[in-house]
Amino acid sequence: MDCDGKASLQKGLDANRPLAIAYLLKEELGLLWKQPDKSAGQKFLASWCQKAIASGISQLQAMAKTLLRHQEGILSYFTTGITSTTVEGTNRKIKILLCKFYGLRNQEYLKLRLYALHEFKFTGV
Q: Looking at the structure, do residues 65 and 28 belong to the same domain, yes or no?
A: yes
| 60 and 18 fall within a common domain | yes
Output the 3-class SS for 8-49.
HHHHHHHHHHHHHHHHHHHHHHHHHHHCCCHHHHHHHHHHHH
Judge if 89 and 72 occupy the same domain.
no
d(CA 125, CA 117): 7
**76 and 101 part of one domain:** no
Q: Identify the CA nearest to 29 among candidates 54, 56, 55, 47.
A: 47
Report d(CA 41, CA 35) in Å as an integer: 5
How many domains does one find in the chain? 2
Task: Kindly give the interhelix angle for 38-54 and 58-69, rounded to the nearest 10 degrees.
Answer: 150
Predicted confidence at residue 125, as pLDDT, reads: 41
pTM of the model: 0.63
What gap in Å lies between CA 3 and CA 18, rounded to an integer? 24
- For residue 24, the enclosing domain spans 3-80
pLDDT digits (tens, 9 = 90+) for 36-61: 999 999 999 999 999 999 999 999 99
pLDDT digits (tens, 9 = 90+) for 58-78: 999 999 999 999 999 999 999
74 and 22 belong to one structural domain: yes
Residues 74 and 102 in one domain: no
